[in-house]
Structure 1
Amino acid sequence: MRNFLFDFDSTLADTRDVAVTATQKAYALKGLAIPSREAVVSYMGVPIEVSFAKMAQEPLDEATLADLYDVFRAQYQVAEQLGITLFDGMATILKTLKQRGENLFVVSSKHSVPLQRNLTQLGLGTTFTAISGSDMVAHYKPAPDGILNLLQRFELAANESVMIGDAKYDMQMGKNAHIATAAAMWGAADPTSVKAESPTYLLQTPAELVNLAD
């Protein structure tokens, strides 16, 4: 593998508590029934433009949803100051891969603005060749748009590319783009559903990423 495409949440960084806190706070501020932690975690990997309506116990019109997205993003920006950390060993692995000359990208369901902000916050602002956020694709995960756009833009060979993620949506996206997939089991909230997608590689620790480049 020469081209490494990473999911962000629960793959590069542990953001689960931040996402739960920000989501629950946003619903509370809007006077809506608060989703359980389990519900929020189950939808991680899916853009809020898809998950928020599904988590709501009340019917929400487009204007209400748009406002809820704005409130969530503001709450996330507050919560992220305390709760985002790289998984152990990830910074070293990324540095090693980059020094070897591998191409590193991020394909996330996050909007590109907070995604870049989070990467910068973690000291990874210039680590990746490019990022793909939810605002940069016509169709969200598990559609392959984010991957295909990068493959085309940087003229990357599909047979040298791997999608690394913690959720079934990442595995499905990789398969839909006809590239290899690597399950980041260190961050998987639902390991069974990830394994059910039969990923090309099943990784227990970030250190195993180096083996994909050998």
Structure 2
Amino acid sequence: MPMAALQLCERPVVLFDFDGTVADTGRAVMTSTRKTLAARGFSEAQMGDLRRMIGPPLWKSFHDFYGFSREESLVVADEYRAFFDELGPEEYPVFDGIPELLDGLVAQGKRLAVATSRMEAKCVDMVGELGLSQFEAVVGMNPPQGRETKADSVRDALAALGAAAGDAVMIGDRFNDVEGAHAMSVPCIGIYSGAAAPGEHEAAGADAVVHSVAELAKLFAI
């Protein structure tokens, strides 16, 4: 194991992405995206691979992948959220091993927070529904408070804990987690848990890479 990865795991603050890292929201995201685009007249062929919607900020994905303007994308993202809100927690279960990992980190004295690209109020609800009381803060998109990017969430999650970038490590399952963490000078461990393409974390410059929750727990000596 690289020495750098071991040193990352000694940091006292651990920030987690939510979708695809803590909770297996892939099916729920793809179902909601399919309904949203179908209502907008898209064919299955035009929708393409819906897995790419898991992780990055919604409006940006609708903009980048489906040709909506920024203004339209914000509206389409709201339409998507209406479909997602119809789903219950059984549609976005916690990944196997995550509760034990979180408990183990807390037992080591680490402080945990969520830094997500999901709208903050919804993520707070979802974390509560899933019984994840280990997180001291859940920080997500909140445009009125100036949070529109992963980097914004990372910045404000650190602030919520009164922590500095040098105290923290980020864990995420997509390239935007790595990029958002690095924008705030926080190293990032990339986890391959479903949505990332092979090599995605390495290409984004992840500071360490794991392929399962079990491997992540081992990295933290849990």
Q: Same fold (TM over 0.5)?
A: yes
Deviations 1:133-154 (A, max 9, x none): 111544413xx22222232343
CA contact (8 A) 1:3 1:104 kept: yes
Aligned to 2:4: none
Q: How many residues align?
A: 208
Partner SS for 2:21? coil
Determine the structure 2 residue equivalent to 1:147.
154
Find 2:51's aligned residue among 18, 21, 41: 41
Question: Cα offset for 1:50?
Answer: 1.3
Deviation at 1:183, TM superposition (A): 0.8
> 1:29 is matched with which residue?
39
User: In structure 2, what is the equivalent of residue 4 of structure 1?
Assistant: 14
Q: Does 1:74 align with 2:82?
A: yes
Aligned to 2:162, what secondary structure does the other structure show?
coil
The 1-side partners of 2:87 and 2:186 are apart by: 34
TM-score of the aligned structures, taking structure 2 as reference length: 0.82
TM-score (norm 1): 0.85
Q: CA RMSD in A?
A: 2.3
Q: 1:94 aligns with which of 102, 122, 127?
A: 102
- Seen in structure 2, the aligned counterparts of structure 1 residues 116 and 192 have a Cα distance that, compared at 3 Å, is same
Which residue in 2 is equivalent to 1:83?
Answer: 91
Distance 1:128 1:23 in 2: 28
Q: CA deviation at 1:160?
A: 2.5
Gaps (5+ residues) in structure 2? 1-10
Alignment identity in percent? Answer: 27
C-alpha separation between the residues in 1 aligned to 2:91 and 2:118?
Answer: 16
Post-superposition offset of 1:98: 1.4
Letter matched to residue 55 of structure 2: G
Structure 1 gap segments, 5+ residues each: none
